[in-house]
Amino acid sequence: MINAELTKKVQSRDSTARNDFFAAGSDPLLLKLKIADTSSVQTFSLIVEPVLKVCSGPVGVNGSKDVAGNFSPSDRHSVCRWLVSSEQRPLLHARVSSLRLPAGGGGDSLSFRSGGSSRTAPLDTLVNDVDDYLVVTSSSTMVVTLTMGVLQKQCELNITFMDAECGGSMSEHGFLTVTKDTKEDVYFSLVASPGQWIDVSSISNLTNSTSVNFYDGPQRSSPLLTIWTDGDQDLTPVTGHEQMLVVVSSLAAGEVFNASFSSVTAGCDTLTSAASGSRTFTASNQTCTWTVAPILSTGTVMIRLSSLNLRDQESLTVMSGVDSTGQVLAHFTGPHTLGGSPLPQVYIPATPGFMISYTSVASNSSLTGAVVQYSTLPQVCGGELSQPNGMIQTPNYPNEYPLNAQCDWTVKKSDEMTASPSSLLLLSFSSLSLAQDHSISVLRTQEKKSQLVAKYGGLNQSPSKLPNDLILPGAPDLTVAFSSQPGVTKPAPGSVNQVSGGASLNYWILECGGNLTTADGFFTSPGYPKPPTKSALCVWILNVADVKGPKNSTNILSFDVKAEGKDAKLIGQYLKIYDGPSMRSPYYPLSENATNLTRYDSIVVVFDFDAKSKPDIRLNFTYQTKICNSSELCANGICMHEDWKCNGNDDCGDNSDEHGCIVPPKPQSYSGWVKVGWVPGCLIIGLFLGAGLVFFGPIVVRKIRNRSASYNRMEEPEA
């Protein structure tokens, strides 16, 4: 064998496995073993394995290299092996486009080993048919072995080897770093420590068009956990199971991607990007987080706590965003149970996502600490006010509204506009109960700038304390907004989770009406002095509170209502007056063509004209301010009308209009016929009796005489 060709010269001084090699030609191998130190026992092993020449050999990769074919075993050999190496770049990956193994479980397999030796543990082994299967290594060499089992049947294989500049496979912990511009995707294959899960946290933000996809498994066919993009400034910490594939795409020149990989306690910290889901937190004597970053970037995430059982020193926190720096939206501390008080929902825009942190001090307990459910909805509140009138209500009304809600209602703008630029918006509250920092606001937006017009809040407002009705011009520019988002001020103790019953208000889009605040004035029906030509709802709010008068005086309104036209008597069907600043105020009894005095400094006048019956009716309404001096006031500050004093009625509401009055004697009550009008009654009766005696008296006398003449005296009979 001295003439045999020397195929490989290997010098081994330790137990490290050396790279495999193929013998050249068909001559026998010559093995020379030189032992320099004979003082100690040494061992040496060389494994010689025959392989099929038609499907084996070295494969050099410069960019990419395909290996494909239908391979069959021979009578003596049933193994194909490729020793793959990257010629220029430091990493090597493989993509199995397709693998078809004989059915029947005959031991057929395709294995991948990172490095140059077939003696190392397999990185991955396939025993079933696959398509588009990725194998990622952190080495520039790879050993690929196709073993055809006892069935001795043909195997079909189509595989592409790719070199790479960045990426690789990692176990237990490490750093994911991409520092070079690369046009192709960069792959990281992560494996957690035994019994633990994977957690990846961002170290640097993304720019330009870079995206990072996270898969809960080793393949792109595994469930997608989330996607980091250049628009995310607070990148989501990603938690997966035992294996994870991370794919970095479109990294621009000069950009750097950095993230850390670690193994965390299994079943504690998790992440999801699904549009809906639920999580049950159980007692585990640790702090667990659940990060939710829905892929759907539009809509609102609705979070609901269907169960909550916290012991002392235990807590559950809901935060906006996807890291611990997010704003706290709800915070519950033990002892607390679901039965103790209703738990509010929480709304969060889908784009930033949310994080829930659960801290438990109990372990090995069957107690369920919390059950959290969420769903992503396209729209949960707000929208367009597309009808001439309707109702605006906070979410879940009349039940408690959610935390962190932001609802905007705008007047519809379209070709068939609900409101013209000159339209008015009328708002009237029917209930209002909002927690601290929560509000109903009205904003005007012009040229992309918003201005606050009005803002309302407060807990459990009674009907008498509700806001006054509000009429605003320029309806298409107005927005009604409800916000239960956290305020900029620090909440009072215990108020972080506080919500209330919400608000309900009616709205109308008007084409006529308005606000009158001058000392005197007038308004008329549309088209005056002619009757209105079309149906119209007109509302005027008259308020003279700011008309200046003497010190400690009070203002009220004196007004006249004049209805004109042949149907003027029907004015009550079309006109309603509310004695106060709202349509919640009492009706004012309409008195046509007379001067009326209000109880307060405001009234609401509603002219609702229906043109279907074409009534001939016109309205002319005039008013002026009546100033009541301090001597003319009730004890409660209400202006005392002249006819209220000592009329026997409590018109002031505190009976001060009846103080100091002389009460007239109370009329006595008589029974029988004796009444206050007995004298004239007796005179009338006497006249009737006298007339009767004059007329009927002679007739009665004559009849008596005639009857007496016809009688015979009764005498005793003769003897």
Q: Cα separation of 204 and 188, whole Å?
A: 17
DSSP 3-state assignment of 706? helix
Give the DSSP H/E element, type plus range, for residue 678: helix 678-709
Give the DSSP H/E element, type plus range, for residue 138: none
End-to-end CA distance of the chain: 209
Q: Are 335 and 312 in contact (CB under 8 A)?
A: yes
Check pLDDT > 50 for residue 708. Answer: no
Give me the mean pLDDT over the 238-263 stretch. Answer: 86
Q: What is the mean pLDDT of the chain?
A: 82
pLDDT for residue 372: 87
For the ranges 19-23, 50-54, 174-178, 187-191, the maximum mean pLDDT occurs at: 187-191
For the ranges 45-49, 311-315, 487-491, 646-650, the maximum mean pLDDT occurs at: 646-650
Q: Are 609 and 510 in contact (CB under 8 A)?
A: no
Give me the mean pLDDT over the 618-640 stretch. Answer: 93
Q: Cα separation of 287 and 472, whole Å?
A: 52
pLDDT for residue 224: 82
pLDDT for residue 5: 40
Model confidence at 204, pLDDT cuts 50, 70, 90, reads confident
Give me the mean pLDDT over the 618-636 stretch. Answer: 93
Residue the block writes with tokens 């294995």: 111
The pairing of beta strand 354-359 with beta strand 287-292:
antiparallel
Give me the mean pLDDT over the 258-285 stretch. Answer: 80
Burial class (CB in 10 A: 0-12, 13-18, 19+), 161: buried
Burial class (CB in 10 A: 0-12, 13-18, 19+), 233: exposed
Residue the block writes with tokens 């705008």: 410
CA-wise closest residue to 167 among 67, 224, 248, 84: 248
DSSP string, 449-463: EEEEEEEE--SS--G
Counting every residue written for the chain, the total comes to: 719
**Lowest-confidence segment of 8-17, 87-96, 119-128, 664-673 by average pLDDT:** 664-673
Give me the mean pLDDT over the 177-198 stretch. Answer: 87
Check pLDDT > 50 for residue 710. Answer: no
Q: Are 181 and 121 in contact (CB under 8 A)?
A: no
Helices (H), 263-396: none
Residue ranges of domains in the chain, CATH in brackets: 168-265 (2.60.120.290), 294-377 (2.60.120.290), 388-507 (2.60.120.290), 513-628 (2.60.120.290)
pLDDT for residue 97: 95
pLDDT for residue 140: 93
The pairing of beta strand 520-524 with beta strand 109-114:
unpaired
pLDDT for residue 433: 94
Paired tokens of 455: 């803002």
DSSP 3-state assignment of 171? strand
Query: How crowded is residue 535: how many other Cβ atoms within 10 Å of its Cβ?
Result: 10
The string of pLDDT tens digits covering residues 525-581 is: 999 999 998 999 999 999 999 999 888 899 999 999 999 999 999 999 999 999 999
For the ranges 98-107, 131-140, 148-157, the maximum mean pLDDT occurs at: 131-140
Model confidence at 490, pLDDT cuts 50, 70, 90, reads low
Model confidence at 418, pLDDT cuts 50, 70, 90, reads low
Model confidence at 703, pLDDT cuts 50, 70, 90, reads low
Query: Whole-model pTM?
Result: 0.62
Check pLDDT > 70 for residue 420. Answer: yes
Longest dimension (CA), the chain: 211
Check pLDDT > 60 for residue 675. Answer: no
Percent above pLDDT 90 for the chain:
42
Query: How crowded is residue 334: how many other Cβ atoms within 10 Å of its Cβ?
Result: 18
Q: Cα separation of 653 and 637, whole Å?
A: 10
CA-wise closest residue to 503 among 453, 461, 470, 452: 461
